[in-house]
Amino acid sequence: MLRLRVVSICIFSLPFCAAPAFAHGAAASEPRFQLSAWGYACLFLLMLAIGGFVGVKLAAKRRNKEIRDSFIGFAALSLIGTLITGIVWFNSDTPIASPDVSIDVQTLSDLGRDHVQPGEPIHYPSYPPTSGPHDPDDLKFGFYQQPQRFENLVHNLEHGDIVIYYKPDLAADKLEHLKVFTDLTKNASGVLLVPYADIKGEIVATAWTKMMVQDSFDSQKLQKFIAVYINKGPEMLDPMRAKEYKQ
């Protein structure tokens, strides 16, 4: 029994040891995710299920049918719980970690959010725009190699999306790093990465009425901007949009 208890304790402690790796990412420079409560629950129940199956095996070796049957029931219930919480976890957002850094963000005037006719051009007082009249169609989240119409992108901002503009000649390694940010979502909002030659600096991150210019790409500050301003648009949509809008 002592051996069984030691093995069970080791297995049950694994979720708490593994959780920091999920929360902080492989490296400090990479976009970081926080493990949600559903994630913790799923991992914990999975470890309980594994512990139960280990108990079944040890009890079988000792030919103790009563203990073995108890462990079978325990393992089965834990496994069912793992499946249920796993499904909920898979269909929920992974919280976006907010690095402990300061960011310099401009707040611009709210120019309204009227819809114009599809394809109708709009002159914005500043570029890239962060609010104003816009096309009735928005764009899917993800990475774009070609410039996109501001009229459509402003519609994305209205829904709480983050639009990141990058210099077309941005270094390949930085661009690959930026692409990872397009996987971030919160409720119905996501991230778009779009080229724009006329920006100041290497990248410009925008949200509804918000703008952050980076002369040199800083991963931690960009993640902070996304964590603070994503899903803060004036019009919120069904959370399923985030799953349907990924390119």
Boundaries of every domain in the chain? 2-90, 106-244
Q: Per-residue confidence at 60, pLDDT binned at 50, 70, 90?
A: low
* pLDDT score for 230: 94
Token couple for 101: 């850094």
Q: What is the mean pLDDT of residues 133-150?
A: 96
Q: What is the mean pLDDT of the chain?
A: 78
* pLDDT score for 69: 62
Instruction: Please measure the distance between the N-terminal and C-terminal CA atoms of the chain and give it in whole angstroms.
Output: 53
Q: Per-residue confidence at 58, pLDDT binned at 50, 70, 90?
A: low
Evaluated on CA atoms 10, 14, 20, 21, the torsion sign reads positive
Of 13-27, 74-88, 100-114, least confident by mean pLDDT is 13-27
pLDDT digits (tens, 9 = 90+) for 87-100: 554 445 555 777 88
Q: Per-residue confidence at 186, pLDDT binned at 50, 70, 90?
A: confident
**Buried b / exposed e along 194-231 (16+ C-beta atoms within 10 A):** bbbeebeebbbbbbbbbbbbbeebbbbbbbbbbbebbb
Question: Is the confidence at residue 2, as pLDDT, over 70?
Answer: no
Q: Per-residue confidence at 152, pLDDT binned at 50, 70, 90?
A: very high
More confident residue, 117 or 52: 117
* pLDDT score for 51: 62
* Contact between 209 and 109 (Cβ < 8 Å): yes
Q: Per-residue confidence at 26, pLDDT binned at 50, 70, 90?
A: very low
Q: Distance between CA atoms of 183 and 70, rounded to whole angstroms?
A: 43
* Contact between 96 and 220 (Cβ < 8 Å): no
Q: Coil, helix or strand for 73?
A: helix
pLDDT digits (tens, 9 = 90+) for 166-180: 999 999 999 999 999
Question: Is the confidence at residue 31, as pLDDT, over 80?
Answer: no
- Say what the pTM is: 0.65
Question: Is the confidence at residue 48, as pLDDT, over 50?
Answer: yes
Q: In the sheet where 106-107 sits, what is the strand order?
A: 106-107, 210-214, 203-207, 162-166, 191-195, 142-143
Q: Distance between CA atoms of 113 and 116, rounded to whole angstroms?
A: 9
Q: What is the mean pLDDT of residues 32-50?
A: 57
Question: Is the confidence at residue 134, as pLDDT, over 50?
Answer: yes
* pLDDT score for 99: 81
Residues in the chain: 247
Q: Distance between CA atoms of 66 and 64, rounded to whole angstroms?
A: 6
Torsion of CA 207, 208, 213, 214, to 10 degrees: -10
More confident residue, 19 or 191: 191
Question: Is the confidence at residue 4, as pLDDT, over 90?
Answer: no
